Chain A
């Protein structure tokens, strides 16, 4: 009996990866399911190595129904170092991180690919809403669900080994398939936009646990206007992100937003809407998933998950740093978030936003 290649399927117990597994099994691939244990569920109970998240049980049940072997992989150490520690240090530095990017870069599409190598799996599959074609990564078919914003950092060489079976579907189609396949428990699972290791969305609790009590990010500092006027006191700049309106001092004629965070003097700079508009950005740690673009190339730019893709132009490219001029202003370009670059549906690459530019950067001198 000739068998199709082996695929390692990352199964979280959610509907997307469950349907991904089901589709691959149906196509006859030799599927092996794994669920990654990424952090201790309940740090208060360090002596319970067998503690099972409900989601792990759901993944196991789906694998059982599909007749595929399923394993739990303990990636707690690497994930803690590569993702959680970075998440904390980014907030401590006054930025707003997206841990999902680093999880994809370091955990799912690096550490997990190594596990796939260990079991001679030719492919790695996940439930991401993105597509692979011709060695390129493409936006998912469902515009509402497209997850390429989180995938720009992966190793380009891994793309030919990816299988993203739900990337061609819409979320309702995925749920429909889950129901048809009698995966009822996962089919109707509520969508979670939460960061997996931040229960209840309370990221401050994570920071309080991981940082010293007197960390600058957690202690009071001034609210200032761009002209330097102090207008109040905040309870720690880690509570703020660019563009935020909540928990700011009142008394201004127009709505005020967080414009900048300055860790050096713990200041949270606030200002009216005009001050959060940016006409350009600088991104660092850039990674390319296609041949790199050149200065002067037009690209589509997305500066946060689900934000519209706006037109931009590459004005500077040095090593892993890129500067982009935007055709029209974009609100709340936030350091720590990603800038992801597209050509049509193709993901060209991306980087971590280091700074936004208020004024449109001057065009480079062409030689």
Chain B
């Protein structure tokens, strides 16, 4: 078999060499605990403070507005539960979200509901975008918090975050956005859009797994999830993951500096992949194909094909992609995102392919070739 092709950058990415190089000293000579007062501690503290400033700057924020976390899931949970638990005493009970969120958001919102919140699901149109009409009805004076992802992880749709954040602000509702798939692909700037919380994850942008960050606008109330220390102003107790924080800072800076060029490159590759497949698999449907999409994600449904067989066959033929989000392909349950926008997707094979640093034209062309053959066989089409 020819070298396998990785088309699952939305699931995770390799750690960039620059990132790893920046981290290594903090596993070695500069191993100190940033809370220690001696020279080892000071050295680690300096690096951590700098990392916090650097990540914050990448989000248009100040250092005090940034918490390091273990990743996107923790950031989402901390923002939603931490925000809700402060606000529930105000009498505002609504917690607003969309049915196409990542499970880290959906389940955190379900948790608020078990604590007395009134869960409000925003309508999503067939293109996979939250509708503002419904948002205006649900993000109101009785709502405490709203959480809508910036870029959907399965279909890549870009949500109207500027309008939603403004709407929330107008009604005194805290607004969180899961920007895990958006950061590094489209501009995420706290100075231009008034979101109160934003989640980012390191391993989607070339930093290691296990590090992420939560932006928290200055003055926003938060009840911590963890207890037992004063680290990060008590918002996130526990000895900081210094090396990974530095890795995240390095990756964020690279992502922001390269954003326009890499996004343009990814868009060309993604569109090449899409056009190449559609040219032959003429009955394939691009999910959210007409919507405003982030540049790196392509989600296709091949009618009449079996999703699980298709994914296994793609993998066995060297094409790595996924059926929904990575978590779901562990047990390959149906996608709740596709179910929300395209009920017909369940009658075919839906595949998410996401381009990134490991993608080039040759790989895309080979992926088109393999995908096309398998899809035509799986859906009973005769190869041309």
A residues lining the B interface (CB < 8 Å): 32, 34, 37, 47, 49-52, 69, 71-74, 114-115, 117-120
Contact = CB atoms under 8 A, between A and B. Distances in A.
B330 A50 contact: yes
Nearest to B313: A119
Contacts of A118: 306, 308-310, 312-313, 378
Given A52-B331, A115-B308, A118-B312, 12 more contacts: A32-B316, A47-B103, A49-B327, A50-B327, A51-B331, A52-B330, A71-B312, A71-B315, A73-B332, A115-B306, A118-B309, A120-B313
B328 interface: yes
Contact of A74 (B103, B309, B316, B333): B333
20 contacts: A32-B316, A34-B312, A37-B331, A47-B103, A47-B107, A49-B103, A49-B327, A49-B331, A50-B328, A50-B330, A69-B312, A69-B315, A71-B312, A71-B315, A71-B332, A72-B330, A73-B308, A115-B306, A118-B312, A118-B313
Residue of A32, A50, A117 contacting most chain B CB atoms (<10 Å): A50
A47 B99 CA distance: 13
B110 interface: yes
Nearest to B308: A73
Nearest to B315: A69
B206 to A, nearest CB: 25
B354 to A, nearest CB: 20
A125 B82 CA distance: 50
Given A47-B107, A47-B110, A115-B306, A74 B312 contact: no
A151 to B, nearest CB: 24
B309 A117 contact: yes
Contacts of A72: 330-332
B312 A32 contact: yes
A74 B332 contact: yes
A114 B306 contact: yes
Given A47-B107, A49-B327, A50-B327, A115 B309 contact: yes
Interface in B322-360: 327-328, 330-334
A163 to B, nearest CB: 18
Nearest to B326: A50
Contacts of B103: 47, 49
Nearest to B330: A50
Contacts of B311: 71
Contacts of B315: 69, 71
Contacts of B330: 50, 52, 72
B338 to A, nearest CB: 13
A10 to B, nearest CB: 13
A51 B308 CA distance: 18
Contacts of B309: 114-115, 117-119
Nearest to A117: B309
A284 to B, nearest CB: 32
A42 to B, nearest CB: 13
A119 B315 CA distance: 10
Residue of B306, B312, B378 contacting most chain A CB atoms (<10 Å): B312
Contacts of A37: 331
Interface in B89-117: 103, 106-107, 110
A158 to B, nearest CB: 17
The 9 closest A-B pairs by CB, nearest first: A118-B309, A49-B333, A119-B313, A74-B332, A119-B312, A72-B331, A73-B308, A115-B309, A50-B330
Interface in B292-320: 306, 308-313, 315-316
A50 B73 CA distance: 15
A58 to B, nearest CB: 15
Given A47-B107, A47-B110, A115 B332 contact: no
A119 B316 contact: yes
A74 B313 contact: no
Contacts of A49: 103, 327-328, 331, 333
A34 B306 CA distance: 15
Contacts of A120: 313
Nearest to B332: A74
A71 to B, nearest CB: 5
Residue of A49, A115, A120 contacting most chain B CB atoms (<10 Å): A49
A47 B310 CA distance: 25
A118 B308 CA distance: 9
B331 A115 contact: no
Contacts of B306: 114-115, 118
A50 B313 contact: no
Contacts of B328: 49-50
A47 B327 CA distance: 13
Contacts of B310: 118
B202 to A, nearest CB: 21
B312 A50 contact: no
Residue of B330, B331, B332, B334 contacting most chain A CB atoms (<10 Å): B331
A51 B330 CA distance: 9
A260 B4 CA distance: 62
A311 B359 CA distance: 67
Nearest to A120: B313
B334 to A, nearest CB: 8
A49 B333 CA distance: 6
B212 to A, nearest CB: 19
A50 B103 CA distance: 11
Contacts of A34: 312
Nearest to A49: B333
Given A50-B331, A74-B308, A74-B331, A69 B316 contact: yes
B158 to A, nearest CB: 25
B207 to A, nearest CB: 23
Contacts of B334: 74
Nearest to A111: B306
Nearest to B106: A47
Contacts of B312: 32, 34, 69, 71, 115, 118-119
A50 B378 CA distance: 26
B345 to A, nearest CB: 15
A117 B334 CA distance: 21
Contact of A71 (B106, B107, B308): B308
Contacts of B378: 118
Contacts of B110: 47
A69 B311 CA distance: 12
